[in-house]
Chains A and B, each alone.
Chain A
Amino acid sequence: MFKRVSAISIIALLAACSTSGEKQPEAPVSENQGRPPMTTAEVAPKPPPVDTGRISTVTPPQVDELTTGVLAKRSIYFDLDSYEVKPEYRALVEAHASFLRKNPSRKVVVEGNTDERGSREYNLSLGQKRAEAVKKMLVLLGVPESQLEAVSFGEEKPKAQGKDEAAYAENRRGDLSYRAQ
């Protein structure tokens, strides 16, 4: 009986929590943001009145730049025991720097990661070093510090779960994570 009551109360509790009206400050930015809504049930628009004496600007369809081209790439990989951004990632970082300069309201968190070998806390500091390297490059490219934060996940959130060199290489990484505006 107690178990049942507690199961019900926990469900109610979870429901209460999920209906919280507070803004979730850490909610990820929707990848679809800015795209025109697509509906199939719209009333057909009236044909434009024939008036040759006026010119109007048509609003272009909006596409989130972050989901296309080089800006869709968010990961910078590092060599073993290395904390330098490799030249092949320069274009990627430059593209994000340019986007951030043009969009001063956007904020990005650089998340550093390491492979699982060694001390968790020391790895957290090594991941921070990777995140800082990317952040520093963004600052040098003119992005204000206020738009940037470098944090580390260390070895705690591995993208690849394996215990071989391929998995370790996948986890030596900095990710650019755009957060809610």
Chain B
Amino acid sequence: MREHVVTAFLVADSDGMSALSVDLGRKLSALLSEKGYEVERIDLTRADAAPCRGCLLCLTKHPGRCVTQDAVGALALRIHHEREPYICLTVSPVLFGHLASTIKNAMDRGVHSHHLQVVVGYGEDVDEEEESTFIDLIARHRGAADIVHPGMDREFLAYVTRSVQDNDAICDSLGVRL
């Protein structure tokens, strides 16, 4: 057991929910609790997550504070000021090999972890090229592959699920890492 309870943010797209994502969310919550994490579930609607305006003021003027004050802005600020280690699991529909817009808006605006970021995409009709695009897109953020921040050692894990069997396999794989 670890000395301190670590928070795990479980961020999902409530507008894009399906039977598959409900099953995945339930299994991930159970896994995180079993591993001793304090799970904080955040279901975002499209109204909660305005798109990033690209003003860069969250980097240059007032770090972590987004000019758009909505649920994602509040969450991003909280995460930015969080000094204790935390992890973030993001669950998103996969469309064209990309995150859904609500989740992408949240990630664009700083909802992610500097310790461990897990991104799980779901969709029963995701094809192989879309799965590969999705995994490669997330892997760009990881370690040496991140040419923007070379040497960054934070972990980004990416998975795609098409079935409840895939959900089980993802939880088994994550269970080893957690």
Does B associate with A?
no
B residues sitting closer than 8 Å to A (CB atoms) are none
